[in-house]
Amino acid sequence: MINDNEKVIDELKKIVKQKGLKYTEQREIVLKILMHAQEHLTAEEIYNLIKIKEPDSNIGIATVYRALSFLEEVDLIASITFGSEGKKYESNAKAHHDHLICTVCGKIVEFVDEEIEKRQEKIAKQNNFKVTSHSMQLYGICSNCQ
Amino acid sequence: MINDNEKVIDELKKIVKQKGLKYTEQREIVLKILMHAQEHLTAEEIYNLIKIKEPDSNIGIATVYRALSFLEEVDLIASITFGSEGKKYESNAKAHHDHLICTVCGKIVEFVDEEIEKRQEKIAKQNNFKVTSHSMQLYGICSNCQ
DNA sequence: GTCAATGCAAATCGTTTGCATGAAC
DNA sequence: GTTCATGCAAACGATTTGCATTGAC
């Protein structure tokens, strides 16, 4: 598990090299922030975290956006947009999962259900779709907020 | 089915009266556009459609946004945000359904799967969530685009 | 040395708001 | 006549872009 982080960084290095692009500290920092995050973060939250955790790096918000687009494109991270809280990112190093979201306090619970995954495959097949990914959110009120 | 539209308009009239608000042509137009739409529309698409379909109405974009917020709040319409295409709306007069989305051409297929619906309920119960709604999207490549 | 990536500021996009006017009740 | 809703334009927040500079290779 702990070693996973190194693997993801290596993956990033490989992708960058393969594409003939350059490996920069900034992209690495953004990816690391997301790997260590327990929650889903917006671009601005990531930017603020970097300023706190890596005060020497002097990264610009535009670079954060550019790094996020890049990392999402190469599938190292993923984004979801819930309600009015804007686009949020999470690392793809985590196993696949869906989300239960409390509409009162914003709490997010992650879960996986094998049965649902199977049905999704079946539905895609029925419609002649080749599925690349999916996202599912259940909105509701968590036990604390009820 | 054809009669459904009238029912929805009556529902809107009822809600508006109940809340002590005013019944306006603008809110009706926005709702009608969504009821007749075959696809999911953004606020701007709705605005443009109104200018074409109801050229005499002289509705402002701000009013479209206000009408959409209102209609969503009273649950006559619903919104989803996929990928980078922004927030899109659809009428709730349709039955509940989920979405299969082609990432190449943007085609959207709607479906419902009872088994998945049941599992979702179960998962929510396990986590002590009171579910109010959910949204599920399968992304992939449709038969035409493969 | 070359070319991609960066930081910064300006520009842009979608959405919201303030306010005077108009329409529903 | 009162109050809510509208249209317009200005304001806003999030994201993107242009450009000169820096840093990776």
C-alpha B123: how far from chain center: 25
Q: Which nucleotide is nearest to A61 (CA to C1')?
A: C7
State whether B15 and B84 are in the same domain.
Answer: yes
State whether A43 and A62 are in the same domain.
Answer: yes
pLDDT, averaged across chain A: 89
CA of A75 vs chain B CAs: smallest distance (Å): 14
State whether B100 and B58 are in the same domain.
Answer: no
- Identify the domain containing residue A33 by its residue range: 1-94
State whether B43 and B100 are in the same domain.
Answer: no
Compare CB distances from B127 to A81, A109, A132 and report the shortest one's residue.
A109
Name the closest residue on chain B to residue A79, using Cα atoms: B83
**Span B83-116, pLDDT tens digits:** 677 899 999 887 788 888 887 777 788 899 999 9
**Span A6-34, pLDDT tens digits:** 899 999 999 999 999 999 999 999 999 99
**Span A135-145, pLDDT tens digits:** 888 888 888 88
State whether A23 and A59 are in the same domain.
Answer: yes
Contact A111, A100 (CB under 8 A): yes
State whether A107 and A77 are in the same domain.
Answer: no
Domain CATH for A117: 3.30.1490.190
Q: State how far the alpha carbon of B98 is from the alpha carbons of A50, B41, B94, B135, B144, in Å.
A: 37, 16, 12, 7, 21
Strand partners, B32: none
- Alpha carbon distance B41, B53 (integer Å): 15
- Alpha carbon distance A134, B45 (integer Å): 26
pLDDT at A1: 46
Q: Is strand D less than 7 A from the beta carbon of A23?
A: yes
Among B82, B145, B94, B100, smallest CA distance to A122 is for: B100
Name the closest residue on chain A to residue B98, using Cα atoms: A136
Compare CB distances from B124 to A124, A129, A138 and report the shortest one's residue.
A138
Which pTM value belongs to this model?
A: 0.81
Write out chain B's pLDDT in tens, 146 residues: 444 788 999 999 999 999 999 999 999 999 999 999 988 899 999 999 999 999 998 899 999 999 999 999 999 999 888 767 789 999 988 778 888 888 777 778 889 999 999 999 999 999 999 887 888 888 888 888 87
